Amino acid sequence: MSRFTRLSTLSLLATLGAAPLAAETIKITLLGVGDVYNFQDEDGRGGFARLNAVAKAERAANPNTLYLFNGDMLSPSLASGFDKGQNTVDFTNLVPFDLAVPGNHEFDFGPDLFMERMKGSKYPWAAINITKDDGSPIEGLGGVMVKELAGLKIALIPVAQDTSPEVSSTGSLKFLPTVDSAIAAAKDARDQGADLVVGVVQTNMDNDRALIASHAFDVILSGDDHSYATAYDGVTAYVETSVDAQLLSPIDLTVEVTEKDGKRTVKWTPAFRFIDTATVEPDPESQALADKLTADLDAALNVEIGTLEAPLDSRRNMVRGEETTMGNLIADAMRAQTGADIAIMNGGGIRGDRTYDAGTKLTRRDILTELPFGNVTVVTELPGSQVLLALENGVSQVEKGAGRFAQVSGLSYAFDASAPAGSRVSEVMVAGAPLEADKLYTVAVNDYILGGGDGYAALGGGRLVTDTGGGAFVANDVMAYVEKLGTVNLAPEGRIKKLGN
């Protein structure tokens, strides 16, 4: 039976003081995963049913397997908008992790909700660098954990992202520095006699590089970047664990343990395997739960959230060329939910291509049909000069019906499509005053255009107030806003004015 314990000098000395192993070869498998938000697959790849199938298969193939989660599952997803992440706990309880690290998204609904989800998990959560505001430990949240497999003492170093308070709702919890905390704990575990030291971390690749360079770890399994990568520098093996369990890479460690003249030596070599989950047959039990949740979600999507007192227009040619009521609604919601000075929404991200008559009962499905891409609302701080460049980009291809056309809130502007691209915008007003080139404004946008999508390079380089790690889905922002309003009464109000012919 595996045993979990918080790292301390006394506990590790007691735990690691066992008699040395005889010379032997041991195979250890480490399966890391993180950033799993959506319970369903995407085009036949990823999702919990396929992930659970892989985890079961790995454990069946090698009993010396550790299944490790490196953060982010409770949010954001369409389902989490309804159940605050309970579905992810239900799925992972079917095939429990050996260890789970809380990512910043575990706190999107506040620390109390995370504590509730942690208590409902059939596996241990741990992070060495999260404490209460007074520095005391959090009940139920472990620290370094030591697992014994085939006589090997494996120290798991669970580390959370220290930027979590900036991008999520962590309340009064204290987050110590990710890199420094991880390296110190890894060295301490080694000093206490751990045979293998494995970092299970949620942090960005810059921090990953620092952890690798420290050579304090044998293996690092890292999340947060939503990308897939493997590396080995001869000292530390590394996996960046993809997103939504789409691509998995178990590491098989061949461990040679020898003892000579009373000195114990542990050497190992890694073998990386690649699993494209499009090739994986879903776990039947997990798939049954997914099918039920899908049906429940379908029913939930038909829930009415507000009533229209005036028509809404999301027709393609309109949202890509002039002010529209649907564009106003979405941009207003982004600004209201974030508190930003300005909101910009690219018209091409509005996909309903229809009109809604006055008296229509809006449903969640309506909003998700209008905003199907799963983009996240983010807030950046930019000078007025860059806001102007963004607006110029928005109208630079208006004659082509390009999706970059800017629907806005908190500002108004005029444009002349007959003028050269880059010199079309004028009369920009923010809160009734002219846009100031050197003044800083907070701007709510979606993560697609923040990253330069639709030509919005001008949105880059600002100070991120919230980023993709801390924002909510644009659709969720709009649904919450409509629910608060109850009734929606919007009409074109001159936010965007056409000049010239």
pLDDT band for position 469 (50/70/90)?
Answer: low
C-alpha triplet 428, 431, 437: angle, nearest 5°: 45
Q: What is the pLDDT of residue 5?
A: 33
Average pLDDT over residues 366-393: 93
pLDDT digits (tens, 9 = 90+) for 417-428: 999 999 999 999
pLDDT (0 to 100) of residue 131: 98
Per residue in 100-133, pLDDT (tens digit) is 999 998 998 889 999 999 999 999 999 999 999 9
* Token pair listed for 253: 């460690």
* Whole-angstrom distance, CA of residue 99 vs CA of residue 114: 16
Please provide the average confidence, as pLDDT, over all residues in the chain: 92
Would you say residue 459 has pLDDT above 90? yes
Q: What is the pLDDT of residue 261?
A: 83
Query: What domains can be seen in the chain, in order of their start residue?
Result: 9-296 (3.60.21.10), 303-499 (3.90.780.10)
Structure tokens at 349: 């991200």
Q: Determine the average pLDDT of the residues in 357-372.
A: 92
CA distance 104 to 258: 41
Q: Looking at beta carbons, which pairs linking 84-87 to residues 24 or more positions away fall under 8 Å?
A: 84/109, 84/113, 84/117, 85/109, 85/113, 85/117, 86/117, 86/120, 87/39, 87/293
CA dihedral 452, 458, 463, 464 (to 10 degrees): -30
- 2: pLDDT confidence band, cut at 50, 70 and 90? very low
Strand order of the β-sheet with 463-466 is 406-409, 342-346, 440-446, 377-383, 463-466
Q: Which two tokens stand for residue 176?
A: 């110590």
Contact (CB, 8 A) for 460 and 280: no
| CA distance linking residue 475 with residue 5, whole number of Å | 42
Residue 83 DSSP SS3: helix
Q: How far apart are CA 326 and CA 191, in angstroms?
A: 61
Q: How far is CA 451 from CA 350, 443, 457, 459, 498, in A?
A: 18, 14, 7, 8, 28
Instruction: Mean pLDDT check: name the lowest of 153-157, 312-316, 369-373, 487-491.
Output: 369-373
- Burial of residue 277 (number of CB atoms within 10 Å: 0-12, 13-18, 19+): buried
Q: Is the distance from CB of 478 to CB of 333 less than 8 angstroms?
A: yes
Cα 385 from Cα 484, distance rounded (Å): 34
DSSP codes joined into one string, 271-327: EE--EEGGGSPPPHHHHHHHHHHHHHHHHHHT-EEEEESS-EE--HHHHTTS--HHH
**Mean pLDDT for the stretch of residues 18-47:** 87
Residue, of 365 and 154, whose pLDDT is higher: 154
What's the pLDDT at 472?
82
Q: Please determine, for residue 82, whether its predicted confidence score (pLDDT) is greater than 50.
A: yes
Question: Among 348, 347, 331, 322, which Cα is nearest to 497's?
Answer: 322
Higher pLDDT residue, 412 or 301?
412
The percent of residues above 70 in pLDDT, for the chain, comes to: 94
Q: Residues 198-255: pLDDT tens digits?
A: 999 999 999 999 999 999 999 999 999 999 999 999 999 999 999 999 999 999 999 9
pLDDT at residue 334 greater than cutoff 50 = yes
Mean pLDDT of 86-95: 98
